[in-house]
Homo-oligomer: A and B are copies of this chain.
Amino acid sequence: MTVWSIDARSGERRRGFPTTGAEEVELACRRADALLPRLEEAGPQGRAALLEAMADALDHRVDALVAAADAETALGVGRLTGEVARTSGQLRLFAEVLREGAFLDVRLDAADSVRPDLRRMNIPVGVVGVFSASNFPFAFSVGGGDTASALAAGCPVIVKAHSLHPETSELTLAALREGARTAGLPAEVVQLVHGREAGTALVTHPLVRAVGFTGSIPAGRLLYDLAKSRPEPIPFYGELGSLNPLIVTPGAAARRTEEIAAGLVASVTLGAGQFCVKPGLVLAPRGDALVEAMARHFAELGPQVLLGDGIRESFEAGAGEREALPGLRVAASGRTGGDREVTARLLTGHVSALAASELLLEECFGPMTVVLAYDDEEELLHALAATPGNLTATLHSEPEEEKLAARLMAVMRARAGRLVFDAYPTGVAVGWAQQHGGPYPATTEPSTTSVGTAAIFRFLRPVVYQNCPTHLLPEALRDDNPWRLPRRVNGELTLP
């Protein structure tokens, strides 16, 4: 079997890659498991050097990487060049996390007359399987956040390449492996498999101890169910789908009509609307001004090439189904293009349409959003409460609307992991405070994040040493703190 690299703009086959057979997956898992001690021996310092060497190798190869990704995804050279920088920056950030050491969460409780000596730290969970995302060929793919945080934790990684960018995946793999060699570690700390069956085999393999996934609800839930029905279930960190409601209060709609219209349309159509944090549902007060302003921006949009045929077909079907719903109308369309291009669309209606169809509460990937009008606060709160779990919820309000804002924030917080104020949800900064995850189906494990430094905790588990003789203690747990770690000593947080 062959996975074909397809030119997203022309639909032509560029190059084939053989799918990975069951025996090869088996071999990859054993090889990865055997490398677990190597990553651990490298220690936080050695793994920091590994991540930095990988980042350098990606940056050195940026032109070839971007060229392949642009052909395979049509996301454009500018955006993709930025994404490579974001990806290498992410690897370097996890190097900082390793050097700082709080990720080990060292806790020491001294013995007393009744208690034993207890020394606790985090250890890697084992081999990690990573599923690449279609829409981020770098930042959420072979060398992306899941891989960076798993390697940082000390876990060898096996990536399932996304079928829409197999060549980009192979080129990224080569860069990561060059980095590993530079750092004096085996190239196989990251491995790559192609094909759906190889992906399934990864999730069910006894040596795979955790999975990171970014993709659609149907594919994600299928793999989630596999992970949870194993004889020994494993954590499945899946980012599945998000509607990302954006609320415009009466005050904001009146005072910032044009500004919000322009910002919102830019956010909805960024990357041809193929962002997991695209605002797919806008709740705005009844009145024509905001929709009319948005419509003017939509009318100026050119036709857009999506990531692949399947995604284009899903968008056309999804947009069509929504347009046909009673009470909904197309307020504006972008310019129409060729067979392989889609037309951006703005749909409007009243919040009462939410009661008529579940469809409006589902994500529709692509350059489209739905603006629903509310008549009063209760309708607004009711509509917001009806949304499923989200990665983000956004509020545009004015200072004098504090009481309404507080009511809305309580619901937003219950429904999302990131609350955005007077801005737009697209653009997820990679940093120490970021949270990318929210109630299901946004993510399958809402208490974790897939972006930002806290992502490392997904691939660690704690172990405590009770009365361990000094000569057998891991360095990180020694009294003299040779690694200069932040630690909790007898309950008190201490800095080195």
Chain A: residues with CB nearer than 8 A to chain B? 37, 96, 100, 102, 107-109, 114-116, 118-120, 123, 125-126, 224-225, 228-229, 232-233, 235, 388-389, 399, 402, 405-406, 409-410, 413-414, 416-423, 427, 429, 431-435, 437, 439-441, 444-447, 449, 453-454, 457-458, 460-469, 471-472, 486, 488, 490-491, 493, 495
Contact = CB atoms under 8 A, between A and B. Distances in A.
A421 B469 contact: yes
Contact of A445 (B235, B463, B471): B235
Contacts of A486: 493
A48 to B, nearest CB: 15
Given A109-B432, A421-B465, A405 B472 contact: yes
Contact of A463 (B114, B235, B417): B417
B467 A420 contact: yes
A432 B290 CA distance: 54
A38 to B, nearest CB: 13
A203 to B, nearest CB: 14
A414 B123 CA distance: 9
Closest 10 CB pairs of A and B: A107-B433, A435-B464, A109-B433, A118-B433, A228-B228, A447-B461, A120-B433, A432-B491, A232-B440, A420-B466
Contacts of A440: 232-233
Nearest to A432: B491
Complex copy number for this chain: 2
A464 B419 contact: yes
A415 to B, nearest CB: 10
Contacts of A433: 107-109, 118-120, 464, 488
Contacts of A429: 109, 114-116, 118
Given A402-B472, A435-B462, 14 more contacts: A115-B431, A118-B429, A118-B431, A123-B413, A125-B447, A233-B440, A406-B472, A416-B463, A418-B463, A419-B464, A435-B464, A446-B461, A447-B460, A447-B461
Nearest to A389: B232
A127 to B, nearest CB: 12
Contacts of A388: 232
A434 B464 contact: yes
A421 B413 CA distance: 45
14 contacts: A100-B493, A109-B431, A109-B432, A114-B429, A115-B431, A118-B431, A118-B434, A119-B433, A224-B228, A420-B467, A421-B467, A423-B467, A447-B460, A449-B462
Given A233-B224, A233-B444, A460-B447, A434 B120 contact: yes
Residue picked from A107, A441, A471, A495, most chain B C-beta under 10 Å: A107
A423 to B, nearest CB: 5
A423 B235 CA distance: 32
Contacts of A446: 125, 461
Given A469-B421, A491-B96, A413 B233 contact: no
A141 to B, nearest CB: 22
A151 B471 CA distance: 40
A54 to B, nearest CB: 21
A382 B320 CA distance: 60
A148 B301 CA distance: 55
Given A417-B464, A420-B467, A462-B454, A225 B229 contact: yes
A469 B431 contact: no
Contacts of A469: 399, 421-422
Nearest to A123: B413
